[in-house]
Structure 1
Amino acid sequence: MSVNVTSKWIAEKIKSKVVVDLHVKIFVLHEFMQETFGVRIGNLKLYRAKERARTDIHGDHARGYEDLFQYAAVILKYDPSAICKVLCDAVNMPEKWLFQRFFMAFPAQRNALHNSCRLYIGLDICHLKSKYGGVLLVAVSMDANNRMVPLAIAVCEIENTETWTWFLEILHSYFDNGSYQITFCSNTQKSLLGAIGNT
């Protein structure tokens, strides 16, 4: 049966499926709505309902970026020794600041590097699959039992020499105590090699 239902109603009905699998396929939702409620829904309406259900469950990405300043302020209020930086582009769009980068690390991670980790930092990247894309830059170390210890993370608009330089400069200023040399390890990204030469 084909009926006229709203995306809001559909989102409520498919929310249980989206909770289990955030990337549930549209054809799975088609079958679920047909078998459970006896209704056929067009692809576009079902896609919109799926996005609405995801937003209801996990929140809106745009709102999340808007809340980063508050998030950073709360971190620094309760842990003043932490570092939490938010960088926005206020030049190209002065009427509306555009998020660019976010960096975060805590004193417990710094203490771990200085007191219980090997003199080693691994650097890597992963691409973010959200609506707005971007990349996640990470720095990790290894403890005496060969377990990874996360040190710092940053979300950036793109991976290039400029973003790696920004990340490494903050990492250096926060973690360097001047008493030893650190070995860096990565998968030889060209932009990272240029950034290491700059810092």
Structure 2
Amino acid sequence: MVVDELNEGRIGLEEMKVGGIFPNLKVFKNKVKEYAIERKFVFVPVDSKPTKYAVRCKDKSCPFRISGRISLDHVMVKRFVPEHTCSGTMRGNDHPLVTAAWAADTCLGLFPCPGDVRPTLIRAYIKDKWGITISYVKAFNAKIIIHEKMCGNAEASYRILPAYAEEMERCNPGTIMCVYRSRELWTGGDSTFCRLFWSFGPSIRAFSQTIRPLILINGTHLRGKYKGILLAATAVDGDGGLFPLAYAVVENEMYESWL
């Protein structure tokens, strides 16, 4: 049976057999790991070469073995001994093979948007599907990995901010978006993010023409790997409704950042 990565989740554990074909080594390793997690034992690698990958049960007296021959476009199972004579090689409710990365891959499809990802939901799903109780720290790390897969990591997002600001001003006439950077903060001389200010063109035009000349200001703390404060300047329209005028992401609420 030949499978691809898009159908990886559809591969049943019972389909691992001699002659079975997997699209790459990653898919093969994940299915071997799922097999061990479901049966609550731990395996150790015995051979890891460019052309072969093989593991055995951690208990040397147990006959469990599986090996695959690695080719350019697939991995074929060459040997599979599913029998176990040991009573299990793991202790406690957690499983050493259940890493944060594996939990993230397993739970990735459960969440339609990043805001839905919760460590408690990850723990509940792993417990319900695999009978494994993972720690909150491991579930939290899995949440971070899921966020990065869905949204990209924070470092990459900060790097593209200057280009993003230029594109925003080009595509939205009258929009102002400025990225302020601290230069030579580190010994390498690289510039780092300091503050971000933006105001959309329609907001600027409406404020100068029809909005009441009153500005309300406030700030709120940002959550995530890199902290900060989101500042907002809001006006009031003719109906007494709030009208967003300008925003800024700053390090702290202080005179310089508000100015």
Match of 2:223 among 111, 114, 129: 129
Per-residue deviation, residues 137-173 of structure 1 (Å, max 9, x unmatched)? 11111111111111110101111111112xxxxxxxx
Deviation of 1:17 (Å): 4.6
Residues in 2 aligned to 1:140 and 1:134: alpha-carbon distance in whole angstroms: 19
Asked whether the equivalents of residues 18 and 50 of structure 1 are also in contact (C-alpha less than 8 Å), the reply is no
Residue 163 of structure 2 corresponds to 70
1:120 paired residue number: 214
Counterpart of 1:47? 140
8 Å contact 2:119–2:143 — kept in the other structure? no
Paired residues, number: 164
- Residues 73-114 of structure 1, C-alpha deviation per residue, up to 9 Å, x if partnerless? 101222352211100100433622110101111221111112
More strand by share: 2
Residue 243 of structure 2 corresponds to residue 138 of structure 1: no
Q: Give the counterpart letter for 1:122 in structure 2.
A: L
Of 27, 30, 38 in structure 1, the residue corresponding to residue 131 of structure 2 is: 38
Contact kept in structure 1, 2:114 and 2:150, CA below 8 Å: no
Tell me if structure 2 keeps the 8 A contact 1:17–1:24: no
In the superposition, relative to structure 1, how do residues 98 and 23 fare at CA in structure 2: closer, same or farther (>3 Å)? same
The residue type paired with residue 97 of structure 2 is N
Q: Conserved in 1, the CA contact under 8 Å of 2:211 and 2:235?
A: yes
**2:251 matches 1:157:** yes
The 5 A counterparts of 1:174-193 are none
Deviation at 1:58, TM superposition (A): 2.4
Coordinate RMSD, CA, aligned: 2.2
TM-score (norm 2): 0.57
The aligned amino acid for 1:38 is G
Q: Identity of aligned pairs, percent?
A: 26
For residues 50 and 18 of structure 1, the distance between their equivalents in structure 2, rounded to whole angstroms, comes to 13
- Amino acid of the structure 2 residue aligned with 1:4: L
Report the Cα distance in structure 2 between the residues aligned to 1:95 and 1:46, rounded to whole angstroms. 37
| Unpaired segments ≥5 residues, structure 2 | 1-39, 41-94
Which residue identity lines up with residue 164 of structure 1 in the other structure? W
List structure 1 runs of 4+ shifted beyond 6 angstroms: none
- The structure-2 alpha-carbon separation of the partners of 1:152 and 1:160, relative to structure 1 and needing over 3 Å to count, comes to same
Any residues of structure 2 matched to 1:92-103 within 5 Å, and which? 92-93=185-186, 95-103=189-197
The SS at the match of 1:123 is: strand
* Structure 1 gap ranges (5+): 166-199
Deviation at 1:131, TM superposition (A): 1.2
TM-score, normalised on structure 1? Answer: 0.73
- Alignment pair present for 1:79 and 2:79: no
Aligned to 2:202: 108
In the other structure, the counterpart of 1:197 is none
CA contact (8 A) 1:18 1:54 kept: no
Give the partner amino acid of 1:5: V
- Which structure carries more helix by proportion? 1
Q: Give the letter aligned to residue 154 of structure 2.
A: H
Partner of 1:9: 102
